[in-house]
C-alpha cells in the first residue's frame, strides 16, 4: 500500500498521492529495529496511483455527486422507494472517470519529468560553463605598445571592375600628397590591390601619430581641402562598397616600416571569439619568434572600432613559393605546432589575401 499519502475525491474516485519515499524493501530483508533508508535525490520521483471503479460502477455517477439526496437511497438494482420522485435527467455529458484519471496521471508524470530534466540540465551546464578570470585593465592597454600612441586605420574598397585602373591612377595622384603634407599627423603605411582573395579590392593602411586626437585633426583638415573633397566624389562613383577599422598594433609584433621590393604581401585576418583576445596575445607573443628568419613579419594589429575582435597579421614574401617554404619551415621548429594547436580554437573565421603593392606604397 501507499503510506503517508493524502486522500482526495476526484469525480467520485479516490486519488492517492504518496509522500516522497523510497520503495520499502521486502519484510524479510528488514530486521526488527531496521527502518527504510532515506530517499536520495534521484529516488524522489513523483508518482500517482488511481483507484479505478469496479466493473459494476463503470460509467455510473455516484448519487452524492449529482446533488440529489433522494437518489442516494435508491436500490442497487435501480428501483425506487414508494413515493420517491424520479431523478432529474443528467446534464451535459462529462468526461468519463477513466479519461479524467488518465489526464491527471499524465500531468503528474509531466511534472516529475520536467523537474528531473531541470536538475539534469543544471548539472550538465556546470560541467561546460567556463569561468572567466576577471581583468583589471582593458586588453587594448595590456596588448598595445606603450612606447607609441599610434592609431592605425585600414580601409577596404571594393571597386567596380571596369574602374579599377582609373581608381588606382586617382589614388596615386592624391594619396602621396596627404602622406607628405607635414601639417597632417598621419602617414601612409601601405596601399595594395588584392591578387588572390576578394577580387577588384583596394586596401589602404594609415598610421595616425598621436592616436585619436591626430585622427580627428586630420579629418577636420581634409574636410576643408577642396582637392580631397573632389577626390572623394570622383572615387565614390567608382566603388561598390567600402569599410574601415581602427586598429592598435600588438606590442610584441614588428614595427611596419618601409621596405624595398619587389614583394607580395599576405594579410591574414582572424575573427576571434569574444573574450579571447588576451589568450591570443599570450600565445602569439611566443609564436612570433618562430616567424622572423626571413624577415617576413611586417605588422600585427587588433581592432578597436569597426568589426571587433578582429586581428590582422601582415606578412611579406618574395613570391608564392617563398611563402610556401617559409611557412613550412616553421613546422620544423619545436613548439610551433603546440602554439597553433592552442590558438586555432580561439578563431571563428579567418581569411587570407595576397596583395600587390601600388607604386606609391612605402611597403614595396
**Residue given cell 436500490 in the structure block:** 75
- Burial of 157 per CB tally in 10 Å (0-12, 13-18, 19+): buried
pLDDT band at 293 (very low <50, low <70, confident <90, very high): confident
**Residue given cell 605588422 in the structure block:** 299
pLDDT digits 0-9 by tens, 312-351: 999 999 999 999 999 999 999 999 999 999 999 999 999 9
Q: How large is the average pLDDT for residues 296-325?
A: 96
Indicate the SS3 state at residue 152: strand
Q: Is the Cα dihedral 352, 328, 277, 300 positive or negative?
A: negative
State residue 186's pLDDT score: 95
Report pTM.
Answer: 0.63
Give the bridge partners for 297, in sequence order.
Answer: 315
What are the helix and strand counts (H, E) for the chain?
9, 11
pLDDT digits 0-9 by tens, 9-42: 444 433 334 444 444 444 444 444 444 444 444 4
Tell me the three cell numbers of residue 301. 594589429
99 vs 256: which has the higher pLDDT: 256
Backbone angles phi, psi at 218, to 5 degrees: -65, -45
pLDDT digits 0-9 by tens, 156-182: 999 999 999 999 999 999 999 999 988
Distance, in Å, from the CA atom of 170 to the CA atom of 358, rounded to the nearest integer, reads 12
State residue 315's pLDDT score: 97
Angle between helices 226-236 and 164-180 (to 10 degrees): 160
Distance, in Å, from the CA atom of 240 to the CA atom of 234, rounded to the nearest integer, reads 13
Amino acid at each position: 500500500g501507499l503510506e503517508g499519502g493524502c486522500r482526495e475525491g476526484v469525480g467520485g474516485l479516490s486519488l492517492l498521492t504518496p509522500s516522497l519515499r523510497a520503495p520499502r524493501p521486502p519484510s524479510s530483508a528488514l530486521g526488527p529495529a531496521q527502518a527504510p533508508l532515506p530517499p536520495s535525490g534521484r529516488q524522489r520521483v513523483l508518482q500517482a496511483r488511481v483507484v479505478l471503479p469496479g466493473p459494476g460502477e463503470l460509467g455510473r455517477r455516484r448519487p452524492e455527486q449529482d446533488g440529489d439526496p433522494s437518489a442516494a437511497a435508491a436500490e442497487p438494482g435501480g428501483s425506487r422507494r414508494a413515493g420517491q420522485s424520479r431523478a432529474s435527467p443528467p446534464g451535459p455529458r462529462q468526461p468519463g472517470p477513466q479519461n479524467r484519471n488518465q489526464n491527471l496521471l499524465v500531468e503528474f508524470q509531466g511534472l516529475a519529468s520536467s523537474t528531473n530534466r531541470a536538475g539534469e540540465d543544471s548539472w550538465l551546464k556546470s560541467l561546460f560553463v567556463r569561468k572567466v578570470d576577471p581583468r583589471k585593465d582593458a586588453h587594448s592597454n595590456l596588448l598595445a605598445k606603450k612606447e607609441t600612441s599610434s592609431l592605425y586605420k585600414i580601409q577596404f574598397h571594393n571597386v567596380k571592375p571596369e574602374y579599377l585602373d582609373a581608381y588606382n591612377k586617382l589614388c596615386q595622384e592624391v594619396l602621396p600628397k596627404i602622406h607628405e603634407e607635414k601639417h597632417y599627423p598621419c602617414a601612409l603605411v601601405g596601399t595594395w590591390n588584392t591578387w588572390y582573395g576578394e577580387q577588384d579590392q583596394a586596401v589602404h593602411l594609415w598610421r595616425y601619430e598621436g592616436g585619436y586626437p591626430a585622427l580627428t585633426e586630420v579629418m577636420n583638415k581634409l574636410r576643408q581641402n577642396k582637392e580631397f573633397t573632389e577626390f572623394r566624389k570622383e572615387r565614390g562613383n567608382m566603388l561598390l562598397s567600402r569599410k574601415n577599422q581602427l586598429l592598435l598594433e600588438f606590442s610584441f609584433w614588428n614595427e611596419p616600416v618601409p621596405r624595398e621590393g619587389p614583394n607580395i604581401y599576405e594579410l591574414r585576418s582572424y575573427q576571434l571569439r569574444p573574450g579571447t583576445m588576451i589568450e591570443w596575445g599570450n600565445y602569439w607573443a611566443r609564436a612570433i619568434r618562430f616567424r622572423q628568419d626571413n624577415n617576413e613579419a611586417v605588422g600585427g594589429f587588433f581592432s578597436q572600432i569597426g568589426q571587433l575582435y578582429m586581428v590582422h597579421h601582415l606578412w611579406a614574401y618574395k613570391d608564392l613559393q617563398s611563402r610556401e617554404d617559409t611557412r613550412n619551415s616553421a613546422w620544423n621548429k619545436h613548439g610551433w605546432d603546440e602554439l597553433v594547436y592552442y590558438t586555432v580554437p580561439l578563431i571563428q573565421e579567418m581569411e587570407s589575401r595576397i596583395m600587390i603593392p601600388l607604386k606609391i606604397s612605402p611597403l614595396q
